[in-house]
Amino acid sequence: MSALEVLIRTNTLKKEPAVLPDNSAQQPSPVAQRGGPRTILIHTVEGDFHAKVVGHALRVRGNRVLEWRGDRVPESNTSSLAFSEGTLTGRLHTAGGDISSDDVDVVWYRRRRIISAPSYVDPLDQEFATEELRMAERSHPEAFSQAFWVNPHAASLLCESKVRQLRYALELGIDIPRTLISNDPGDIRQFLSEGIACIYKPLGGCIWKEDGVVRKTYTAEVALADLPCDRILRTTPGIFQDKVDKHYEVRAQFFGKSCFAVRIESSALESGDVDWRLDQNSITRCEPAILPDDVHARCIALMAKLGIVSGGFDFIITPEGRWCFMEVNEAGQFFFIETWCADLPVLDAFCQFLEYGKADFRYRPHSDALTLNGITASAFEHGVISK
């Protein structure tokens, strides 16, 4: 059985008959089922490879794709919200043309930029102008409420809370590690003195430049001897957890009801016992992973509870077979899944998902599915992306 057949029979269509590619009885595409191409608005920023490739793929499939670049506000991107004749209409003005909320079917809330007033604004007015720009940006979803959002704006913000994720996971019976989120030196030292290996990770994460090199925060093993003085501990709350014994890890990407999951052999990586992302460039291939029925169902339930329709779940699977939930990233990268396991049609499925425009989406394979390699090559050829 191929990896794609395994996917369809398990993760994507659980409790339903398998649907396999069949040229003689091909399912109509979601676009055809729902009345033609879609107008899809992508919230993005400069250099967003995912947004450029997905946008190109959607255009190849016949859709209209619009972009709102947060990094161009307010110099070349401006907005208006108009109440008139009993309706609210949003208008986004960009260098590429104007966008009306009436025309948009789907919003992919891919990347957002924290907006600040330009440097030419008087320093005394900087704080006021910045806050007004941010308030206006936060108001955009009100005018685009008729569209299908991936993910809904409010849910996207709420999902940033690791505390909320872990609390909801517990309520749904999802296994999580023993966890402390704290900036209290006494509580932290007590947690780390239980005789169990522990890890630290930030509540939100950070990316910065140092000596011309882009750096970011990762999960790290931590012991009592590693802690700074109490005064420093108080300044930075963090997540402290038991270090879970790993057999392997799973990244499970959900689009609606469909799941595309890969098994990451983290135990074979140099830094895999703590954070496989440190060695991700050494990974060339992964096998597809099959989520147990109860894990799959609880992932769907957690997404519903969080209010999101798409998310990338991280699990550690212990030698005893325990599936331990780490977190769900509502706007994470997902191309690497198809890169590491070419049999999983992640790009094609995501395009179908946006076109379908409903949370109950289930991927339907077809004979002319787009591939990440093919669309990336086409995007290079058409100048959408550059090397």
| pLDDT at position 215 | 77
| pLDDT at position 11 | 64
Is the confidence at residue 23, as pLDDT, over 50? Answer: no
Boundary of a domain, candidates 243, 264, 292: 243
Domain membership of residue 365 (yes or no) is: yes
| pLDDT at position 363 | 97
| pLDDT at position 314 | 96
162 and 275 both lie in a single domain: yes
Q: CATH no. for residue 208?
A: 3.30.1490
Percentage of the chain with pLDDT > 70? 90
Domain membership of residue 86 (yes or no) is: yes
pLDDT tens figures, 162-218: 999 999 999 999 999 999 999 999 999 999 999 899 999 999 877 777 777 777 788
Is the confidence at residue 276, as pLDDT, over 90? Answer: no
| pLDDT at position 282 | 74
The answer to whether 58 and 65 are in contact (CB under 8 A) is yes
Domain membership of residue 382 (yes or no) is: no
- Give backbone dihedrals phi and psi of 90, rounded to 5 degrees, phi first: -105, 140
Q: Which domain holds residue 146?
A: 37-150
Is the confidence at residue 145, as pLDDT, over 60? Answer: yes
| pLDDT at position 274 | 74
318 and 356 both lie in a single domain: yes
302 and 158 both lie in a single domain: yes
Residues 6+ apart with CB under 8 A from 74: 115, 118, 133
Q: What is the 3-state secondary structure (H, E, C) of 323-361?
A: EEEEEEECCCCCHHHHHHCCCCCHHHHHHHHHHHCCCCC
Q: CATH no. for residue 119?
A: 3.40.50
Record the pTM: 0.88
Domain membership of residue 287 (yes or no) is: yes
64 and 42 both lie in a single domain: yes
**Closest by CA position to 177, among listed 236, 223, 237, 240:** 240
pLDDT tens figures, 61-110: 999 999 999 899 999 999 999 999 999 999 999 988 999 999 999 999 99
What does the buried/exposed string (b/e) look like for 125-152 if buried means 16 or more CB atoms within 10 Å of the residue's CB? eeeebbeebeebbeebbebbeebbbbbb
Q: What is the 3-state secondary structure (H, E, C) of the chain?
A: CCHHHHHHHHHHCCCCCCCCCCHHHCCCCHHHHCCCCCEEEEEECCCCHHHHHHHHHHHHCCCEEEEEEHHHCCCCCEEEEEEECCEEEEEEEECCEEEEHHHCCEEEECCCCCCCCCCCCCHHHHHHHHHHHHHHHHHHHHHCCCCEEECCHHHHHHCCCHHHHHHHHHHCCCCCCCEEEECCHHHHHHHHCCCCCEEEECCCCCEEEECCEEEECCCEEECHHHCCCHHHHHHCCEEEEECCCCCEEEEEEEECCEEEEEEECHHHCCCCCCCHHHHHHHCCCCEECCCCHHHHHHHHHHHHHHCCCEEEEEEEECCCCCEEEEEEECCCCCHHHHHHCCCCCHHHHHHHHHHHCCCCCCCCCCCCCCCHHHHHHHHHHCCCCCC
221 and 288 both lie in a single domain: no
237 and 250 both lie in a single domain: no
164 and 280 both lie in a single domain: yes
- Looking at residues 363-385, what average pLDDT do you find? 95
**Closest by CA position to 372, among listed 340, 352, 348:** 348
Is residue 317 very low, low, confident or very high in pLDDT (cuts 50, 70, 90)? very high
Domain membership of residue 183 (yes or no) is: yes
Domain membership of residue 20 (yes or no) is: yes
| pLDDT at position 149 | 97
267 and 327 both lie in a single domain: yes
Give me the chain's average pLDDT, please: 89
Domain membership of residue 381 (yes or no) is: no
| pLDDT at position 219 | 87
Is residue 12 very low, low, confident or very high in pLDDT (cuts 50, 70, 90)? low
201 and 226 both lie in a single domain: yes
> Tokens 């750096």 appear where?
215
Is the confidence at residue 10, as pLDDT, over 60? Answer: no
**Number of structural domains in the chain:** 3
| pLDDT at position 35 | 52
Answer whether the bond into residue 151 is a cis peptide, omega within 30°. yes
| pLDDT at position 19 | 32
8 and 136 both lie in a single domain: no
Is the confidence at residue 8, as pLDDT, over 80? Answer: no
327 and 205 both lie in a single domain: no
Domain membership of residue 71 (yes or no) is: yes
Percentage of the chain with pLDDT > 90? 76
